[in-house]
A and B are shown apart, each in its own frame.
Chain A
Amino acid sequence: MLTQQQSNKGISSKELAYITDSLKNEELLVKLCAQGAADCQNPQLKQTLSQLAQERLNNCDQLLRVLQQQSYTH
């Protein structure tokens, strides 16, 4: 659906900053969830946290992918 012009448009430095910040956030949350899953006693919480850790790791991948895709247009 993107026009030629839009798909060729590069990424702004503001967007880059947001992606970097988001990656930092996601990494922190992955660590937090992983640690929590290891330490927690409540089985339900344990399971949710390990699931969250995995999901958040996928989010990191997604952010990286979008960054890589944009770098091709440069």
Chain B
Amino acid sequence: MYQQQSQMNRQQSVLQDQDVANIVLSECKRIAREYATAALEANHPAIRQTFQTLLQKTLQDQAQIYTIISQMNAYGDVKEASWQEIQQEIQKQMQKVGQLQTLVQQSLQWGLQPQAAAYQQPMNQPNNQPAYAGNQSYSYNQAQGSTFASGAAVGKSAQDYSMSTAKSSDYSSQSGSYSFGSSSSASEQGSGKSGMSYASGSANSSKYV
């Protein structure tokens, strides 16, 4: 250490180039994490947008400084995964995804019938569910309204979605994959992407309320 320093012939700073670069890199990583958390927990659309933009910038800066560090060979070894490891993982994951596909197919076929029946039920008793569903889509619009232009359409499909899932509780307990089955059955109904993004929206909005 001491030898290295005297060789450098630069005594004004203990930190060398690569140290400084690595500190900046760590700071960028830490700041990116904080921006991600801040964006996830933001309430106001404009503020969420700001955090999102700054997160993007921070990621770019981090990549830039990392490129320089790796060019300086100052980051240390980045160990590559072995061919065998990759092949093993591919086998394992392909099997899992296959099973998941079968499960989803089964849930969809299974879930469509009870859901059709459940869809009738709220029509007969409109007094308990619509208030809840309306509330949900309201907070959803607050959280995500600025990013989705089709707010009204999304709100409507979200209503359908929350009604059907709320009523088909027997279906969800039996299938064992509640979230998966319900969100893909929402897409089956034609609400498609909006049903899925509603699911993420409601997860966020539960923090705001």
A residues neighboring B (CB under 8 Å): 1-3, 5-7, 9-12, 14-15, 18-19, 21-22, 25-26, 28-29, 32-33, 35-36, 39-42, 44-45, 48-49, 52, 55-56, 59, 62-63, 66, 69-70
Contacts and interface: CB of A to CB of B under 8 A. Distances in A.
Given A25-B27, A55-B57, A39 B20 contact: yes
18 contacts: A6-B44, A9-B44, A15-B43, A18-B34, A21-B34, A25-B27, A25-B31, A25-B34, A33-B24, A44-B68, A44-B71, A48-B64, A48-B68, A52-B24, A52-B64, A55-B57, A63-B54, A70-B44
B90 interface: no
Contact of A32 (B23, B42, B43, B71): B23
A69 B46 contact: yes
A35 B12 CA distance: 12
B34 A6 contact: no
Main secondary structure of the interface of B (DSSP, over half): helix
Contacts of B145: 1-3, 6
B183 to A, nearest CB: 26
Contacts of A11: 44, 47
Contact of B20 (A6, A28, A40, A66): A40
Chain B interface extent, by class: 35 or more
B201 to A, nearest CB: 15
Interface in B152-208: none
The 9 A-B pairs at the shortest CB distance, nearest first, are namely: A18-B38, A36-B20, A66-B50, A40-B17, A42-B17, A25-B31, A12-B43, A1-B146, A15-B47
A8 to B, nearest CB: 10
B172 to A, nearest CB: 33
A15 B42 contact: yes
A21 B33 CA distance: 12
A29 B50 contact: no
A6 B17 contact: no
A36 B23 CA distance: 10
A49 B27 contact: no
B34 A15 contact: no
B137 to A, nearest CB: 14
B10 interface: yes
A29 B43 contact: no
A11 to B, nearest CB: 6
A66 B142 CA distance: 19
A72 to B, nearest CB: 12
A22 to B, nearest CB: 7
A14 B17 contact: no
